[in-house]
Amino acid sequence: MNANPSEAAVQAWARLVRVSGALLDAVEAELKAAGFPALAWYDALLELSRAPEGRLRPFELERHMLLPQYSTSRLIDRLEKAGLAERLGCPNDGRGQHVAITEAGRALRERMWPAYAAAIERHVGSKIGCSDAEKLAELLGRLSGAASDGTLCGGAAVARV
């Protein structure tokens, strides 16, 4: 149980760290350059927009996004301040609340998707074939505890190539 990693594992890890960081930076930069907020906002808006009635409890959002609790709390602060989401009281649970996406929030997410999709295409799609992308996703999935992840886009916006 205390075995050392194989060279292949170390190499895979090194690339994972490096490449994911570089791509994340690049994609975030494209979003920012297009005048949009950061990826975390997109993810949060997407989670909310997909949830029934467009609302989630903060702790649910937290688990979907794999974020620390305080980080979620503050993300909600900012979304609320920007008018993209709102906090609503929670009738069943006095300490809790619901976070609901606003119309402005839905609209922003939809406007962001084309830019986001273009960035994904530029930095991933164009560099790797379709079947290789599937293989990559499968290998990555094997590394993940069990994190299920859906699509990145809400509705009909995914135009196939």
Q: Which residues would be at the binding site for its own copies (CB under 8 A)?
A: 2-25, 39, 66, 117-118, 120-121, 123-125, 127-128, 130-137, 139-145, 147, 149-153, 158-161
78 binds, among DNA, its own copies, none (CB under 5 to 8 A by kind): DNA
Distance (Å, whole) CA 22 – CA 151: 22
73 binds, among DNA, its own copies, none (CB under 5 to 8 A by kind): DNA
Distance (Å, whole) CA 92 – CA 43: 27
Distance (Å, whole) CA 120 – CA 114: 10
| Shortest spacing between CB 77 and its own copies, in angstroms | 21
Task: Please say which residue, 14 or 88, places its beta carbon nearer to its own copies.
Answer: 14
Task: Please say which residue, 66 or 88, places its beta carbon nearer to its own copies.
Answer: 66
146 binds, among DNA, its own copies, none (CB under 5 to 8 A by kind): none
Task: Please say which residue, 96 or 155, places its beta carbon nearer to its own copies.
Answer: 155
160 binds, among its own copies, DNA, none (CB under 5 to 8 A by kind): its own copies
Helical (H) or strand (E) element with 71? helix 69-81
Distance (Å, whole) CA 125 – CA 129: 7
Pick from 112, 111, 108, 118: which is nearest to 26 by CA? 118
Distance (Å, whole) CA 59 – CA 48: 12
Task: Tell me if 40 sits within 8 A of 75, measured CB to CB.
Answer: yes
| Shortest spacing between CB 40 and its own copies, in angstroms | 11
